[in-house]
Amino acid sequence: MSHALLDGSGGQATRRGRAMQRAADWLTLAAAPTFAAMALLSAFPGDASAQMLCSAGAVSPVNGMVAMYLLMSAFHLPAWLKLVRMASAGTSP
């Protein structure tokens, strides 16, 4: 952390820090729906013959990539839950 943020002498540095925090908050909120969309896109491949060649057994819509995207989406849900909790309590983020 810079000295300007620690000792309060740099108002511009503090504003920059708040702006960076807001950008990080928005990126966190964007992660869960993005991964959920990727799971949907991965579940329905365009070329089923390529998937049959690469899989040893029956073709399942829940392959490794779908499971990975669903898990990543679940791990990023706490940001949405926090936002809903704050909205229901009437506080701003």
Higher pLDDT, residue 42 or 93:
42
Q: How far apart are CA 55 and CA 59, in angstroms?
A: 7
What are the domain boundaries of the chain? Answer: 28-89
pLDDT for 3: 46
Q: What is the pLDDT of residue 25?
A: 85
The beta-carbon contacts of 66-70 under 8 Å, at least 24 apart in sequence, are 66/39, 66/42, 69/35, 69/36, 69/38, 69/39, 69/42, 70/35, 70/36, 70/39
* Token pair listed for 88: 């229901």
pLDDT surpasses 50 at 5: no
**What is the reported pLDDT for 12?**
75
pLDDT, tens digit, 9 for 90 and up, residues 16-70: 888 898 888 888 899 999 999 988 888 776 655 555 555 555 556 567 888 888 8
CB 4 within 8 A of CB 10: yes
